[in-house]
Amino acid sequence: MCVRNSGFAYGVRHPETKAIQAVMLLRPPGVIQNGIHETRWEFLTTAFGMGGPPPWDNQEIYGQGCGGRMDAMGKSQYKMHAELAPTDHWYVFWMAVSPEHQGTGCCGALLNLLNVASDQGGYYCFLDTIGERNAAVYAKYGYAERKDFIVRDSSTEAEPDLNHIALIRRPPKEASDRMEAARPISGREGCGRTC
């Protein structure tokens, strides 16, 4: 499924009930230029803005300063993307597995699909997450390069700092070399046309 001309949504459904068990939103190579289109926070704010105030404004449920934490996360996303993923790549914008289906292979099925596509194109994959448990899951599927970013929300002292983890999966060297050789030449080095 295409998501607003800027990505794809893939999911895993239960074979009998057809209930959605997991969803992965992807941004393909070429969509992201020098950073990311929008952070999850901007995406959610826009989505909820069409239907009323976002649910995290309820401090009884989400705690004090949830919006401030989301803003801090957005800044961290921009920073990590610019620093670690400045060239064309696949970006796992969102990965969600329903709690009752975690540990059953849903995340792995979606990541394996992405890994095959990225290897065929010679592109690396980038994702960001919170928590060692999530980072360990992604590491099993080749997301081995890691950099930690500490997220501090200055709007409240009530919440602890978050460890925002950036992970990268590189394609096999031969796939990367093959893709680099196939890229069109432009400017003074060639004819300037994409053939």
Is the pLDDT at 65 greater than 70? The verdict is: no
d(C-alpha 1, C-alpha 92), whole Å: 15
Q: Helices then strands (H, E): number in the chain?
A: 6, 6
d(C-alpha 144, C-alpha 93), whole Å: 18
The pLDDT tens digits of the residues spanning 45-62 come to 555 555 555 555 666 666
Q: Which of 9-18, 64-73, 105-114 has the highest mean pLDDT?
A: 105-114
| pLDDT higher at 180 or 24 | 24
pTM: 0.74
Q: Determine the pLDDT at residue 195.
A: 32
Q: What structural domains and CATH numbers belong to the chain?
A: 8-189 (3.40.630)
DSSP run (H or E) holding 26 = strand 20-27
pLDDT band at 127 (very low <50, low <70, confident <90, very high): very high
pLDDT band at 185 (very low <50, low <70, confident <90, very high): very low
Q: What percent of the chain has pLDDT over 90?
A: 36
Q: Which residue has the tokens 């390069």?
A: 145
Q: Determine the pLDDT at residue 57.
A: 60
pLDDT band at 74 (very low <50, low <70, confident <90, very high): confident
Q: DSSP for 55-106, please give it.
A: GGG-HHHH-TTHHHHHHHHHHHHHHHHHHH--SS-EEEEEEEE-GGGTTTTH
The pLDDT tens digits of the residues spanning 88-109 come to 889 898 899 999 999 999 999 9
Is the pLDDT at 87 greater than 70? The verdict is: yes
Structure tokens at 139: 């590491």
Is the pLDDT at 193 greater than 60? The verdict is: no
Determine the average pLDDT of the residues in 16-29. Answer: 90
The pLDDT tens digits of the residues spanning 153-167 come to 666 666 678 888 999
